[in-house]
Amino acid sequence: MERKEGMKMEDVLGNSSCSQFTVNNFPLQSIFDLSCSEDEKILSLGLMDLLGVQDLISPPFLEIMTAEQQVPSLISSQAPPTPPPSKKIESPEAINQPATPNSSSISPAPSEAFNELVKVDDQEENQKKTKKQLKTKKTNQNQKRQREPRFAFMTKSEVDHLEDGYRWRKYGQKAVKNSPFPRSYYRCTTASCNVKKRVERSFSDPSIVVTTYEGQHTHSSPIMPRPKLGGSHLSTAMSAAAFGMPMQRTSPHYQQPFTNSLSPSNFGHNIGSTNNSFLHEKRIYIPGTGPSLLKDHGLLQDILPSHMLKEE
């Protein structure tokens, strides 16, 4: 296994591990493997608030963090050197940065939690290679240059740039090593908003678009309704945007169900889907239990983890 801990995103995307990454860890646990306690918190916060106050949240269904530290833990099929259960991460402060559905298996989204995780990782690092220690040390030293938490979504789509309710300005494009597909860099066009996103295609599956969000939108509302957009579409679009999710509102590029409809992108897609059929019936793959068919009755079920739905 030369896939060492310093694995880079493109390594993940560009190899067969992508499927594994996707099926076993990436979306599912990010989205559905939520601790009940966390769910309760989310509910107590008011789910609709989470949907409506998109500037306060950007719940990551996958947080990529720094590629060196986070991704390996996320993609490792074996029990990763996981930090202790993220009870600290689920701190009540999540109110300020609420809707961090991924509390247990996946790193949290909020920057505060991010810091926490870095610390935890640092402790883990002490038991690992010197090389990695150095890397971690460097990472910690660069805290002043700390990057925003990143959230990645894998979306099955023919178009690279997915509509997510915000307006983006492309500021760069780079060829990605080991991938025939370039990576595009976008920035939110809102002046005070420094949210960025990267869009690239998966090397192993060109039909999959990987969108990585970095930062949180500082403005309260996404783009204004466009003439061609229906109001209902927009509302759902905003809901999806509230989660920082890519979403497609244009049917021609409508996303295909992604690997058993289990990707975060599909998750977001369902939220903002213009196709109501997706809202009423979809397959949700639940880790460890195998694919299952859930009946959806509405938006909530698109958002809530499956086991919560069962509980209700």
Partner DNA sequence: CGCGTTTGACCTGCGC
Partner DNA sequence: GCGCAGGTCAAACGCG
Nearest to DNA of 3, 280 (CB atom): 3
Asked whether the beta carbons of 217 and 165 are under 8 A apart, the reply is: no
CB-nearer residue toward DNA: 33 or 68? 68
Q: Tell me: does residue 275 bind DNA (CB under 7 A).
A: no
User: Which ranges of 126-247 would DSSP assign to H, the alpha helix?
Assistant: 130-141, 231-242
For 23, which DSSP code? I
183 part of the interface to DNA, by CB under 7 A: yes
CA 41 → CA 34, 103, 114, 306, 307, distances in Å?
11, 11, 19, 16, 15
Please, which residue, 143 or 232, has the CB nearer to DNA? Answer: 143
253 near DNA, rule: CB under 7 A: no
219 makes contact with DNA (CB under 7 A): no
Residue that has been written with the tokens 């916060």 in this structure: 45
Rounded CA separation 59/118 (Å): 18
Interacting residues with DNA between 198 and 217 (CB under 7 A): 198
Among 161, 219, 253, 307, binds DNA (CB under 7 A): 161
The number of residues in the chain equals: 312
Tokens 């679009």, residue located: 237
Cβ distance to DNA smaller for residue 198 or 217: 198
Residue 292 as a binder of DNA (CB under 7 A): the answer is: no
The answer to the question of residue 166 lying near DNA (CB under 7 A) is: no
Beta bridge partners of 284: 292
- C-beta closer to DNA: residue 185 or 243: 185
Sequence-ordered alpha helix ranges (H) in the chain: 9-14, 17-20, 28-31, 36-45, 47-52, 70-75, 111-125, 130-141, 231-242, 264-272, 276-280, 299-303, 306-311
Q: Does 145 bind DNA (CB under 7 A)?
A: yes
**Measured from the CB of residue 132, what is the shortest distance to DNA in angstroms?**
8
Contact 151, 60 (CB under 8 A): yes
Q: Is 68 in the site for DNA (CB under 7 A)?
A: yes
- Interface with DNA includes 295 (CB under 7 A)? no
CB 243 to DNA: min, Å: 22
Give yes or no for residue 48 binding DNA (CB under 7 A).
no
- Residue 135, interface with DNA (CB under 7 A)? yes
Counting Cα atoms < 13 Å in the Cβ hemisphere of 119 gives: 10
Site string for DNA, 72-111 (x = CB under 7 A): ----------------------------------------
> What would you report as the CA-atom Rg of the chain, rounded to the nearest whole angstrom?
18
Q: Is the dihedral of CA 287, 36, 302, 267 positive or negative?
A: negative
Q: Which stretch binds DNA (CB under 7 A): 91-99, 109-117, 167-175, 263-271?
A: 167-175
Count CB atoms within 10 A of the CB of residue 65: 24
Number of residues that bind DNA (CB under 7 A): 32
Q: Using the rule CB under 7 A, which residue among 168, 181, 213, 278 binds DNA? A: 168
211's enclosing H/E stretch is strand 208-214
- Give me the residues paired with residue 291 across strands: 285
Q: Decide: is 226 part of the binding site for DNA (CB under 7 A).
A: no
Question: Judged by CB, which is closer to DNA: 138, or 297?
Answer: 138
Query: Residues interacting with DNA, by CB under 7 A?
Result: 6, 8-10, 67-68, 131, 134-135, 138-139, 142, 145, 161, 167-177, 183-186, 189, 196, 198
